[in-house]
Amino acid sequence: MFIDPAAPSRERFKAIRMDGGYFDPVSGEKLPSAEWEKRMAAIHYAGADYRGPGMVARRWLQGWVSPDGLLWTAIEEPIADMPADGGITPGYDPATGQYFAFVRPGDTGWCSIAISKTSDFLQLATVAAGAIGRPGRSA
């Protein structure tokens, strides 16, 4: 969470979190919890013999705004189409007028950290990970 001195008062506070869900690979529709849980249980039960409907996991960064840091509103569209495994540190640099976010990109197989910079909080660029160390090990 950070304070954005350049934002309108109703969006003074900003935050980012990772969000996502499971989607039907044919229709592209987001699966309700009961449906993806049913599919997941069937996949685990049947293992390699599973022949039922599949699902695809998608993750993205979700932006949030608040006038007071207490009552939050989710931004309707994702601000970046990328998974992250925690450690999201966003902010605003008044000297450059840019927003930034340090993120740990997910699904890389490496301990990674990346930074994204933008002049529009609603359009945080998807970042390429810079590897630090080896898979499964910290720097």
- Give the separation between CA 85 and CA 54, rounded to whole angstroms: 24
Which whole number is the average pLDDT over 19-30? 93
Does residue 7 fall inside a structural domain?
Answer: yes
Does residue 41 fall inside a structural domain?
Answer: no
What is the SS3 assignment for 10? helix
pLDDT, position 134: 45
Does residue 108 fall inside a structural domain?
Answer: yes
User: In the chain, what percentage of residues exceed pLDDT 70?
Assistant: 88
Domain that holds residue 15: 2-19+61-131
Does residue 40 fall inside a structural domain?
Answer: no
pTM for the model? 0.77
Structure tokens at 119: 């002049």
What is the SS3 assignment for 79? coil
Q: Can you tell me which residue has the tokens 């000297």?
A: 95
Does residue 8 fall inside a structural domain?
Answer: yes
pLDDT, position 139: 45
Does residue 43 fall inside a structural domain?
Answer: no
Does residue 89 fall inside a structural domain?
Answer: yes
User: In the beta sheet, which residues pair with residue 74?
Assistant: 64
Structure tokens at 121: 């909080």
